[in-house]
């Protein structure tokens, strides 16, 4: 198939890429891994905050996500515009301007007569009426809509998007293929060694991010997180591993939490500041026995690795995902962070570990199948578009 595409138009992918956010990079990396079986990498153009970095990481073409002239120039040579995946359309975090950006790109592609795919996105919350109207207007004009969860599907249907066009898939990161961790990482953090403690070896991965609730009560929240860390070290006999999923945003918070940890043995607390790609980070999750995480893709990674977790509910997408697994007992709201509540969650996990792992194992199979179906729909759409372009060229030549 690659040879047939060699001289044809490219596809353009838009999302929250190039910001060193492990979750969004996992989406992009998985999409590229899957698309590479059908398209040459040079035919994939990614809109990125850091184009050179994206090129070097994935071997694709990349252009600045805010350079409108470059975007228009490349769109004119594009066969299919892909918006997603990720949670791009929401207005509860940031300044709420992202909706205008992503919808603007969809409308621009439409104006230039480039077929569009709304791919594997989680939609919402969207509270402003103007934003709801923009989404309805844009998505009712797009050729193919695939959402990553039932909540997004229901939201779009309630918004007035035509029912037959809103299809369900899953987050592409479920298809991400693990990569072996570099030997120096394994050695530095002793990831293959067993603990010399009396209790079984236990490593806990912590994925913490700033949120509105933490910012509003910062000192108290980092003190609570420090107390929880001390409890995990002393009472649970655990080594702690902080995994920054977006270092530029997460490291200040992690360092402030570490300063609140009173346990004298600081060698029991590590922070992975190494430059790992998402596939390597996924492998890292196989090295811990429990994850306490706020970010959605930390919980997805734990699911893939069949690792029990406590999900910190700071955003509906986290709550919706855990509810979809049928494991609401593993949720804990940000404002409920305390040693007692963490202890209760860990006790529940210990008493129900086999059941939890069985649920996660079944969920991974289902979500991987759904993600695979979504990628096949996307690839089929691209191939059909390319065939139409070829037929158009041949017809023109005959004329």
264 and 143 together in one domain: no
197 and 345 together in one domain: yes
CA–CA separation, 381 and 37 (whole Å): 15
Residue 381 maps to a domain: no
Q: Is the pLDDT assigned to residue 311 strictly greater than 60?
A: yes
* 30 token code pair: 């998985």
Report the CATH number at residue 218. Answer: 3.40.50.2000
Give pLDDT, residue 385.
86
333 and 279 together in one domain: yes
pLDDT band at 1 (very low <50, low <70, confident <90, very high): very low
Q: What mean pLDDT is reported for the chain?
A: 91
123 and 209 together in one domain: no
DSSP 177-221: PP-PPPHHHHHHTTTTPPP-SSSPP-EEEEE----HHHHHTHHHH
Q: Is the pLDDT assigned to residue 390 strictly greater than 60?
A: no
Residue 161 maps to a domain: yes
Report the CATH number at residue 151. Answer: 3.40.50.11930
pLDDT tens, position by position, 273-301: 888 999 999 999 999 999 999 999 999 99
332 and 198 together in one domain: yes
pLDDT tens, position by position, 139-160: 999 999 999 999 999 999 999 9
18 and 159 together in one domain: yes
Residue 17 maps to a domain: yes
165, 116 Cβ separation under 8 angstroms: no
What is the tally of structural domains in the chain? 2
Residue 391 maps to a domain: no
Mark out the alpha helices in 140-172 (DSSP H runs). Answer: 150-159
Total residues belonging to the chain: 399
CA–CA separation, 227 and 213 (whole Å): 18
Q: Of 168, 197, 231, which one is at a domain's C-terminal end? A: 168
CA–CA separation, 269 and 261 (whole Å): 9
Output DSSP code: residue 176. P
Other C-beta atoms closer than 10 Å to the C-beta of 16 total: 22
What angle, rounded to 10 degrees, do the helices at 353-398 and 22-35 form?
A: 50
pLDDT tens, position by position, 180-210: 999 989 998 888 865 444 344 589 999 999 9
CA–CA separation, 351 and 52 (whole Å): 48
73 and 121 together in one domain: yes
Residue 270 maps to a domain: yes
321 and 212 together in one domain: yes
203 and 233 together in one domain: yes
Q: Where in the sequence is the domain holding 145, given as residue range(s)?
A: 2-168
Residue 23 maps to a domain: yes
235 and 300 together in one domain: yes
């Amino acid at each position: 198939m690659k040879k047939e595409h060699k001289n044809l138009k490219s596809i353009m992918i838009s999302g929250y890429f190039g910001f060193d956010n492990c979750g969004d990079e996992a989406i992009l990396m998985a999409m590229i891994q899957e698309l590479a079986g059908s398209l040459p990498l040079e035919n994939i153009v990614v809109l990125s905050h850091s184009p050179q970095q994206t090129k070097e990481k994935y071997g694709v073409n990349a252009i600045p996500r805010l350079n409108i002239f470059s975007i228009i120039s490349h769109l004119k040579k594009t066969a299919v515009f892909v918006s997603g995946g990720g949670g791009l359309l929401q207005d509860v975090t940031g300044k709420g301007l992202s909706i205008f950006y992503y919808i603007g790109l969809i409308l621009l592609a439409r104006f230039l007569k480039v077929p569009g795919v709304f791919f594997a996105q989680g939609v919402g919350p969207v509270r402003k009426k103007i934003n709801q109207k923009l989404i309805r207007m844009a998505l009712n004009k797009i050729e193919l809509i695939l959402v990553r969860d039932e909540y997004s599907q229901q939201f779009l249907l309630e918004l007035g998007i035509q029912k037959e066009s809103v299809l369900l898939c899953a987050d592409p990161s479920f298809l991400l293929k693990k990569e072996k961790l570099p030997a120096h990482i394994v050695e530095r953090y002793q990831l293959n060694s067993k603990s010399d403690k009396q209790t079984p070896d236990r490593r806990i991965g912590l994925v913490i991010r700033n949120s509105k609730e933490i910012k509003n009560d910062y000192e108290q929240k980092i003190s609570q997180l420090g107390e929880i860390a001390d409890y995990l070290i002393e009472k649970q006999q655990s080594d702690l591993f902080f995994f920054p999923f977006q270092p530029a945003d997460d490291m200040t918070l992690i360092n402030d939490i570490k300063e609140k940890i009173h346990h004298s043995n600081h060698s029991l607390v590590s922070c992975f500041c190494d430059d790992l790609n998402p596939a390597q980070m996924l492998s890292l999750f196989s090295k811990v026995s429990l994850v306490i995480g706020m970010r959605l893709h930390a919980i997805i990674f734990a699911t893939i690795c069949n690792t029990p977790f406590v999900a910190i509910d700071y955003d509906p997408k986290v709550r919706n995902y855990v509810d979809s697994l049928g494991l609401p007992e593993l949720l804990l709201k940000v404002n409920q962070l305390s040693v007692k509540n963490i202890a209760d969650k860990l006790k529940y996990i210990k008493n129900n570990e086999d059941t939890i792992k069985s649920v996660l194992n079944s969920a991974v199979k289902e979500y991987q199948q759904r993600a695979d179906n979504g990628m096949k729909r996307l690839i089929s759409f691209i191939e059909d578009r390319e065939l139409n372009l070829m037929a158009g060229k041949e017809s023109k030549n005959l004329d």
